[in-house]
Copies of this chain bind each other. A is one copy, B any other.
Amino acid sequence: MAYFGEVPGFPEGSEFDSRESVRVAELHRHKISGIAGKAAEGADAIILNEGYEDDEDLGDLIIYTGEGGRDSNKGHQIADQLLIKGNAALVNSLLHGFPVRVIRGNKLKSPYAPATGYRYDGLYSVTSHWTEKGKSGFNIIRFKLEKISGEIPPHTNKNIPIGNRNPETKTSVVTRTIRDSNITRAIKELYDDACQVCGIQITCEGGTYSEGAHIWPIGKPHHGSDTLDNVLCLCPNHHAQYDRGGFGVADNFSLINIPGSLNVIPEHEIDIRNLRYHRSLFPDLENK
């Protein structure tokens, strides 16, 4: 069963001489797979060891490639990766905010790899996932993981936690992409806070509310532009759903996976390439 969060007795930085000792310590329960977890319960740990050559390890930010589709030596990609097993478990952790233990092995090509054996490097959040063509031409599924600061008490799927009556505040260093608040402001003014998908305006005390949603995601690793031709005015629901691949927008602005079409006013020139890039991130949206 999945067991999320810190494992008592093994704080961040704990070192292990072998993969088997990582398993015995219950930090990662699988003998071979990189991802520990099942689709229905979520992933609670990953091991970064050999890995894919296009993985990126920036320490607090990791771009991790999913599993499956490789030949028996785990050398070459010979088929598409699918949203099943460990990959589906990591998406479950993304959608539900489950913390994932990250263990690095010495074969990892990264300045953060341990010199020998394995090291537990703390808890990460899965903050996005997408599909792209690997060097082989087959689909690979990728995950963005960001380090969590602050302690997360251990927890399994089955018990209801008590929580914290006096949650602490903590100072931490984060790396963010600077968004130009003028852009999200301009898009909300163009549409008067009405969602371009459903037309809803969220009514709050003192006014209405909407969100500026980037079509081609900004920040690592997608590096979309923070410009009006790459932003939509969406309600929070359609923003959350769009970012997580729940629907897409076709070149003619009809919606993919949900009914209807995007409301676009003449003053708002959307760059069609941005819509295409977003669709390319989710196979369900690209093949329709």
Contact = CB atoms under 8 A, between A and B. Distances in A.
Contact of A152 (B4, B153, B155, B180): B180
A246 B203 contact: yes
A270 B154 CA distance: 23
B204 A179 contact: no
A155 B181 CA distance: 10
A33 interface: no
A70 interface: no
Give the bracket for the number of chain A residues in contact with chain B: 35 or more
A54 to B, nearest CB: 20
A6 B173 CA distance: 24
Q: How many copies does the complex hold?
A: 2
A129 interface: yes
* Residue among A161, A184, A219 having the largest count of chain B Cβ atoms under 10 Å: A161
Most buried by B among A125, A148, A183: A183
Interface string A224-243: 01111011000111011100
A91 B208 CA distance: 10
A181 B98 CA distance: 7
Contact of A183 (B163, B178, B236): B163
Interface of A: 4-5, 83, 88, 91-92, 94-99, 125, 129, 148-153, 155, 157, 160-186, 188-190, 200, 202-209, 212, 218-220, 223, 225-228, 230-231, 235-237, 239-241, 244-246, 267, 282, 284
